[in-house]
């Protein structure tokens, strides 16, 4: 039995006492309970929506030791600090200013973007060279 049902039963019992003040207080209590129940339901709904947001895939892309978020078909937003996102779930934008990289203003993580970009370019060139070698061996 819920609190509202109990309050209704109490209101019926109290009416038998023939004390108008007590009846009024019980009716007031019923109203307060109904308000609380409505507010409670609103909070449950809000909590459910927030949980959904938290569980939704973040669609963050990992590249050069930083995260990027797809924005539209071609655009990307970011970069964001991986330490802050993986640890606290915060998307903190990396800041420039250093010649070789970016720094997180929150946790001070430094990412050497030049080395990362060079490594990515070398890996891409190696893949292309590998592909050319394979296609040449097919031709021979």
Long-range contacts of 27-35 (CB under 8 A, 24+ apart): 30/4, 33/3, 33/4, 33/7, 34/4
104 near Zn ion, judged by CB under 5 A: yes
Q: Which one of the spans 47-55, 96-104, 112-120, 132-140 is the region binding Zn ion (CB under 5 A)? A: 96-104
- Which of 107, 117, 123, 126 is the binder for Zn ion (CB under 5 A)? 107
How many residues line the site for Zn ion (CB under 5 A)? Answer: 8
As a whole number of angstroms, the distance between CA 125 and CA 131 comes to 10
Taking CB under 5 A as the rule, does residue 93 contact Zn ion?
Answer: no
Q: From the CB of 103, what's the least distance to Zn ion, in Å? A: 9
Q: Which of residues 51-70 bind Zn ion (CB under 5 A)?
A: none
Cβ–Cβ < 8 Å for 22, 11:
no
State which of residues 83, 91, 93, 112 lies at the interface with Zn ion (CB under 5 A). Answer: 83
Helix (H, G, I), strand (E, B) or coil at 112: strand
Take residue 126 and report the two structure tokens written for it: 């190696």
- Residues binding Zn ion (CB under 5 A): 81, 83-84, 92, 104, 106-107, 109
């Amino acid at each position: 039995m819920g609190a509202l049902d109990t309050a209704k039963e109490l209101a019926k019992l109290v009416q038998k006492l023939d004390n108008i003040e007590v009846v009024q207080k019980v009716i007031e209590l019923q109203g307060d309970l109904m308000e609380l129940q409505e507010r409670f339901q609103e909070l449950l709904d809000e909590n459910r929506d927030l949980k959904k947001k938290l569980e939704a895939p973040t669609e963050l892309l990992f590249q050069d030791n930083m995260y990027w978020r797809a924005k539209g078909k071609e655009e990307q937003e970011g970069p964001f600090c991986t330490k802050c996102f993986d640890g606290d779930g915060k998307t903190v934008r990396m800041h420039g200013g250093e010649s070789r990289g970016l720094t997180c203003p929150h946790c001070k993580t430094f990412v050497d973007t030049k080395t990362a970009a060079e490594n990515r370019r070398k890996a891409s060139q190696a893949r292309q060279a590998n592909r050319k070698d394979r296609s040449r061996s097919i031709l021979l």
